[in-house]
Amino acid sequence: MHTYKTQKDLELYLDSMRENGKNIALVPTMGGLHDGHLSLVDKAKSLAEIVIVSIFVNPTQFARGEDFDDYPNTFESDKLLLQSKNVDALFLPSKEEIYPHGTLSDYKVGAIGQILCGAFRPSHFDGVAQVVKRFFEIVKPNYAVFGEKDFQQLLIIQSLVKNLNLNLKIESMPTQREKDGLAMSTRNQYLSDLDRERAPHFYRVLCDVRDSILIENSLTDAKKDAIKRLSQNFEVEYLEVLDANNLTQIETKTKEIIIISAIRFGGTRLIDNVVFRRMNV
């Protein structure tokens, strides 16, 4: 596995690959890798001959008081995991390499970035879009792979590619889960033993909402019941039942539905979602 720290060196490598007719897939990460990330790598390997993984903790997507300075750094184990997957290149840029002209950005996500997580982290998705746009400029991949756990982020990145008319395809992978259902996340490392025991309740409640909707119970009642149950163990930031195609309100004929939520407990913020299809509309 090659390791590159500068745009120039990475571009020289990628240009040589393109000259040999190789397609390129990018998996952007902030490190703290787990099996969820590795599923993205597997998907990337199925799409392209050359797989690039980046590790960069992006300052522009963290607000003041968030965990930028404390974000888990597991670089040595991350590197071993990527080597075990035969990743072709690891990109480890500095802040100055990603933002040589400063961190101001002229790209704004818009309304979809102001709801759900965006309502609680107002500058977050503009920062995500900024860094992803920059990685696309550097790598110029044919494909980029993201996880569906960050579903709002996934839609925003798809929108970015469309808005900027970029010549690449966004692929996604389903949320990878622990045996007890907890969505895999780097931030799970923050959980105490007691909180880790409680955390799977989050996913179970979301599944119960899905099951309630599928037997045609009231959406409003299912949502209220879920918030009540979650509030017994967690601080609920939001729980919404929306159209999975665009995160708008469900209409009578909506088939693709997402139950999407964020909670806080024990000083940790977790997000999760369940996507399903109604067959009887």
80 CB-near residues (< 8 Å, 6+ apart) = none
Q: Are 86 and 49 in contact (CB under 8 A)?
A: no
211 CB-near residues (< 8 Å, 6+ apart) = none
15 CB-near residues (< 8 Å, 6+ apart) = none
Point out the catalytic residue in the list 37, 101, 124, 201: 37
Bridge partners (DSSP) of residue 25 are: 51, 143
Q: Is 2 designated active site?
A: no
Q: How far apart are CA 23 and CA 40, in angstroms?
A: 16
Dihedral in degrees, nearest 10, Cα atoms 33, 36, 42, 46: -130
- What helix, strand, coil percent values describe the chain, rounded to 5? 40, 20, 35
Centre a 10 Å sphere on the Cβ of residue 217 and count the other Cβ atoms it contains. 13
Q: Is 91 buried (19+), middle (13-18) or exposed (0-12) by CB count in 10 A?
A: buried
Parallel/antiparallel/unpaired status of strands 50-55 and 24-29: parallel
Q: Are 262 and 151 in contact (CB under 8 A)?
A: no
Please list the active-site residues.
37
